[in-house]
Structure 1
Amino acid sequence: MPVPVLLTLTMAPVALIGATLWLVSDIVPTCSITEFQRMPAPDGAYDLVTFTRTCGDTPENMQAALVPLNEQVPFDAASFVSVLAAADLEPGWTADGEIGITLPDGAEILRQDTTVAGIDVIYR
């Protein structure tokens, strides 16, 4: 087989796949996490983190999750509370080692777990 034909048969699929990936990357929204507050657990096992997760036209939201001590919030972090509002959840650890969270009045609550990693969550 001549070299020009071999190059064409090899490079055409590569170019097609590259163009497809480039187009798809423009369609899929870019997601980001913005951390607001971080508080280590009294026993040092976790950090209590409040953050927003933004993907494309995501409405304003505030979430809270436990992450391993001093680690970044992973993109796929499972939040135990999520509200559609740009509000301070006033997170904190109680003297009993529970998590305290303040839910904003009138905000749509998407998720509100009562425990996370065996730790009780108290909503105010």
Structure 2
Amino acid sequence: MPSTNKFPLRLFALLTTAPAILVGGGLWYLSGLAPGCTTAISDRLTAPDAQFDLVVFSRSCGETSPNTQAAVIPAGDDLPEDATSFASIGVAADLDPRWDGFGSIELTLPVGARIYRQDDSVAGIAVIYR
């Protein structure tokens, strides 16, 4: 009878599945050690037409420098973790946000603050910086 060198299926499954489980579990554990981001909302104002909310917030991810950001989101929605800001500065500050009578957004940027982002409009809404 000829001899065959077939690799047993059970041994093959064990040698491929066990390392995959160990690597996956290790990555899952390590991801829990990474510092998470926290978001603190300082102001939230609904637009005169009640379509959007203007949200001023700061985001902290571990040992980051202070920052203040502004974003527009649908009225009543929670601020998503990946919210894209239209204004972002490198200091904790009160932007004194408001909606003007024409439906534009007004923000006050502190003098000398490092500006990371300063868009002139967002979602078709004009932004005025004072």
Quickly name the TM-score band, shorter chain normalised.
Answer: 0.7 to 0.9
| CA RMSD, 1 decimal | 1.9
- The alignment of Structure 1 onto Structure 2 pairs a total of residues equal to 122
Q: Name the CA distance, whole Å, in 2 between partners of 1:114 and 1:53.
A: 22
Secondary structure, aligned partner of 2:28? helix
Report the structure number with the largest CA radius of gyration.
2
Q: Name the residue aligned to 1:47.
A: 53
Partner of 2:126: 120
TM-score, structure 2 normalization: 0.84
**C-alpha separation between the residues in 1 aligned to 2:81 and 2:20?**
32
What amino acid maps onto 1:105 in structure 2?
V
Aligned residue among 110, 113, 123 for 1:107: 113
Instruction: Give the Å deviation of 1:83.
Output: 0.4
Matches within 5 A, 1:1-124: 8-9=14-15, 10-26=17-33, 28-124=34-130
TM-superposed deviation, 1:13: 2.7
Q: 1:34-82 CA distances to partner (integer Å, 9 max, x unpaired)? A: 1111000000100000001111222100000001111111111110100
Alignment gaps of 5+ in structure 1: none
Q: Which amino acid aligns with 1:34?
A: A
Identical columns (%): 44
Task: Give per-residue Cα distances to partners, 1:81-117, cap 9 Å, x unaligned.
Answer: 0001110000000011110000011110110011111
TM score, norm. by length of structure 1:
0.87
Unaligned runs of 5+ in 2: 1-7
Look up the SS of the partner of 2:96 in the other structure. coil
